[in-house]
């Protein structure tokens, strides 16, 4: 069968081979009480039939984030001329699959069209252009998005404000004004501040917490903080440090989410690096699992075939839970166990292995796996942990096998 239209390829189930579904990453996350486990995607890979088949697997992916097609350069390439074609393709795909859509992003210093980045501005004219952009984009996607990343990467690594064009002409006020403008365009969508290197305690995380306070001090709405999670194998923050950091944001009255998770390594990939990557993924996802305010996890595309890492970090890659051949890596099992599921390998007729998974977080097994829930108010699942782990109390609502 030949499918010529990209959009038809996405929406016509008959054009796609059907997967045998089992309890996967999203199924396990939802069973654990999270809203979703999801992935970023981008328009060029949507012509890859095998890729789209897995992207449509809602047992693994209950949410999709457009990697590039909703950014400023893609949606308003010239002033007050808007185009939503590519973003709509991904939004339509999510809707057809019943997947949530995390919309990304409205105000960022990067991927700006030249009319913004090289324009001649005053405080008033840039403010008007920013508000016009936000209003038009959010209005177009009103009712379709679970959340918007309103301001992306507004901080430098030392915790000071990034010296971008919005800060230069508007000052720190551009951040709460952007949030207020987005809220006016769609009062129901969740509004996030999103950044990297705020996943653990330090100057930048403290500064991000101060951004939450700043937005609230203006009387504007902010619902969540996105912790990007672009990590390096063997250097990933510990589970406890990430959970403690999430709690610091939650104490400000916002939810959190891991929004762009990938864990890269120096190539070539080895069994030892893959094993460490599995541990690192498990620890990060488990930090979200144990934090009631953490609503979900998004990986920054699911396969190494389309990862952004190799073109950005010379000599590094293999950052995703699936390899370039769309085969699950050990990291997949690490994520699954952190969400309370289990994975088993079975032989096929050709002698190759295929991984299937089952969820144990709702009590389908009498023994909870490592990183699985084992107690808490209202918990009806397993309370005995697999050998080598202990049921560890976190709060009245959650205990976990560690």
| Cα distances (Å, whole numbers) of residue 3 to 12, 16, 58, 254, 306 | 9, 9, 22, 44, 21
Q: Which two tokens stand for residue 366?
A: 């009498």
pLDDT in tens, 137-168: 999 999 999 999 999 999 999 999 999 999 99
Catalytic residues: 260
Q: pLDDT band for position 18 (50/70/90)?
A: very low
Give the bridge partners for 259, in sequence order: none
Q: Which two tokens stand for residue 293?
A: 């305010």
Q: With a cut of 50, say whether residue 346 has pLDDT above it.
A: no
Highest mean pLDDT range out of 20-29, 171-180, 379-388?
171-180
Q: Which two tokens stand for residue 368?
A: 């909870």
Q: With a cut of 60, say whether residue 22 has pLDDT above it.
A: no
Other beta carbons within 10 angstroms of residue 212's beta carbon come to 17
Q: With a cut of 90, say whether residue 400 has pLDDT above it.
A: no
> Hunting for tokens 């609502």 — which residue is that?
397
Q: pLDDT band for position 353 (50/70/90)?
A: very low
Per DSSP, helices labelled H in 259-316 are 271-289, 309-312
Per DSSP, helices labelled H in 63-164 are 72-75, 85-97, 114-117, 123-140
pLDDT in tens, 279-309: 999 999 999 999 999 999 999 999 999 999 9
**Nearest by Cα to 334 from 252, 249, 276:** 276
Other beta carbons within 10 angstroms of residue 168's beta carbon come to 13
**Nearest by Cα to 75 from 105, 45, 100, 34:** 105
Assess contact for 285 and 339: CB atoms under 8 A: yes
Q: How far is CA 390 from the centre of its chain?
A: 29
pLDDT attached to residue 9? 40
User: Which residues, 6+ apart, have CB-to-CB distance to 231 below 8 Å?
Assistant: 199, 237, 261, 262, 263, 264, 280, 284
Residues 245 and 249: their CA atoms lie apart, in Å, by 7
Please report which helix (H) or strand (E) contains residue 232, including its range: strand 230-232
Other beta carbons within 10 angstroms of residue 311's beta carbon come to 8
Whether the upstream peptide bond of residue 387 has omega within 30° of 0, thus cis, is no
Q: pLDDT band for position 23 (50/70/90)?
A: confident
Choice between 361 and 282, residue whose per-residue pLDDT is larger: 282
pLDDT attached to residue 379? 53
* Mean pLDDT score, 214-232: 98
User: Which residues, 6+ apart, have CB-to-CB distance to 314 below 8 Å?
Assistant: none
Express as a percent the part of the chain with pLDDT over 90.
79
SS3 at position 395: strand
Choice between 11 and 296, residue whose per-residue pLDDT is larger: 296
User: Which residues, 6+ apart, have CB-to-CB distance to 368 below 8 Å?
Assistant: 340, 360, 361, 374, 381, 382, 383, 384, 385, 386, 391, 401
Give the helix, strand, coil percentages of the chain, each rounded to 5: 35, 25, 40
Assess contact for 194 and 225: CB atoms under 8 A: yes
**Nearest by Cα to 286 from 326, 236, 325:** 236
Q: Which two tokens stand for residue 286?
A: 């488990």
pLDDT attached to residue 249? 98
Q: pLDDT band for position 4 (50/70/90)?
A: very low
* Mean pLDDT score, 198-223: 98
Q: With a cut of 60, say whether residue 361 has pLDDT above it.
A: no
Residues 107 and 74: their CA atoms lie apart, in Å, by 13
Residues 45 and 133: their CA atoms lie apart, in Å, by 27
Instruction: For the chain, give the mean pLDDT.
Output: 88
């Amino acid at each position: 069968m030949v499918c010529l239209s990209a959009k038809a390829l996405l929406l016509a189930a008959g054009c796609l081979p059907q997967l045998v579904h089992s309890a996967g990453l999203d199924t396990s996350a939802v069973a654990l009480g999270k809203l979703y486990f999801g992935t970023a995607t981008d328009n060029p890979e949507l012509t890859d039939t095998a890729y789209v088949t897995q992207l449509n697997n809602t047992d693994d992916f209950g949410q999709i984030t457009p990697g590039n097609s909703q950014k400023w350069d893609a949606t308003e390439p010239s002033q007050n001329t808007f185009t939503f074609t590519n973003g709509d393709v991904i939004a339509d795909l999510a809707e057809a699959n019943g997947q949530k859509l995390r919309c990304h992003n409205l105000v960022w210093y990067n991927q700006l069209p030249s009319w913004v980045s090289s324009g001649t501005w005053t405080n008033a004219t840039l403010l008007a252009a920013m508000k016009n952009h936000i209003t038009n984009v959010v209005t177009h996607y009103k009712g379709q998005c679970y959340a918007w990343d309103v301001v992306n990467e507004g901080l430098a690594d030392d915790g000071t404000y990034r010296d971008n064009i919005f800060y230069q002409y508007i000052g720190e006020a551009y951040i709460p004004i952007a949030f207020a403008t987005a809220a006016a365009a769609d009062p129901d969508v969740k509004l996030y501040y999103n950044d990297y290197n705020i996943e653990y305690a330090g100057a930048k995380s403290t500064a991000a917490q101060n951004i939450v306070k700043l937005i609230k001090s203006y009387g504007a709405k902010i619902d969540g903080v996105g912790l990007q999670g672009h990590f390096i194998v063997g250097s990933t923050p510990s589970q406890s440090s990430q959970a403690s950091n999430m709690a610091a944001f939650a104490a400000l009255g916002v939810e959190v989410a891991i929004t762009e998770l990938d864990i890269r390594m120096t190539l070539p990939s080895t069994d030892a690096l893959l094993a460490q990557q599995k541990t690192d993924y498990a620890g990060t996802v488990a930090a979200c699992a144990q934090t009631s305010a953490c609503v979900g996890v998004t990986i920054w595309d699911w396969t190494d075939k389309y990862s952004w890492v190799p073109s950005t970090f010379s000599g590094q890659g293999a950052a995703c839970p699936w390899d370039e051949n769309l085969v699950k890596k050990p990291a997949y099992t690490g994520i699954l166990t952190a969400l309370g599921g289990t994975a088993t390998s079975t032989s096929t007729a050709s002698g190759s292995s295929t991984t299937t998974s089952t969820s144990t977080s709702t009590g389908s097994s009498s023994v909870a796996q490592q990183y699985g829930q084992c107690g808490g108010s209202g918990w009806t699942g397993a309370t005995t942990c697999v050998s080598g782990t202990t049921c560890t109390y976190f709060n009245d609502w959650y205990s976990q096998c560690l």
